[in-house]
Amino acid sequence: MRLLLDTHTALWLVNEHEKLSLKAKSFLLDDEHDLFVSVASFWEVAIKSSLGKITDLVGGVGAFTMQIDKMPIELLHITPRHVGIVESLPFIHRDPFDRILIATAKSESLTILTSDSNIPKYDVSCLW
């Protein structure tokens, strides 16, 4: 399975946080799954870190980047196709980072690994 990590999922993975569900952990640790993280997640971490909203990650986006680079996770860039899908999404979720992740998952046929209860309201595959 091809899994796109929601930003909080990637952060919890990096921090080995107890909020990761057992099911999510099993998907993350199974070599049979391809893991992806969007550049949007790095952008979100940078913004939230600079605002003091991420307190359990010492070193901000630099530390996040170093940890992700050590893992078998592929980086996905934002493309014009992704942005075009964002434009057509209903406004169930107003968070621009989640909206671009939803669009990316739809465009790239990925399943989003997320605990966000709003994301499954879209026509996108999700797991938690």
Q: In order of start, what are the domains of the chain with their CATH numbers?
A: 2-127 (3.40.50.1010)
CA distance 6 to 110: 11
Yes or no: say if 104 and 4 are a contact pair by the CB < 8 Å rule: yes
Question: pTM of the predicted model, to two decimals?
Answer: 0.94
Q: Which residue, chain included where needed, has tokens 């990316």?
A: 104
CA distance 85 to 101: 10
Neighbours of 41 (CB within 10 A): 26
The mean pLDDT value of the chain amounts to 95
Q: What percent of the chain has pLDDT over 70?
A: 100
Give 58-116 pLDDT, tens digit per residue: 889 999 999 999 999 999 999 999 999 999 999 998 899 999 999 999 999 999 999 99
Q: How confident is the model at residue 15 (pLDDT cuts 50, 70, 90)?
A: confident
The secondary structure of residue 118, as a DSSP letter, is T
> How many CA within 13 A on the CB side of residue 86?
15
pLDDT at position 50 over 90: yes
CA distance 3 to 75: 12
Q: Reduce the DSSP state of residue 21 to 3 states and report it.
A: coil
Helix (H) or strand (E) segment spanning residue 102: helix 96-108
Yes or no: say if 61 and 45 are a contact pair by the CB < 8 Å rule: yes
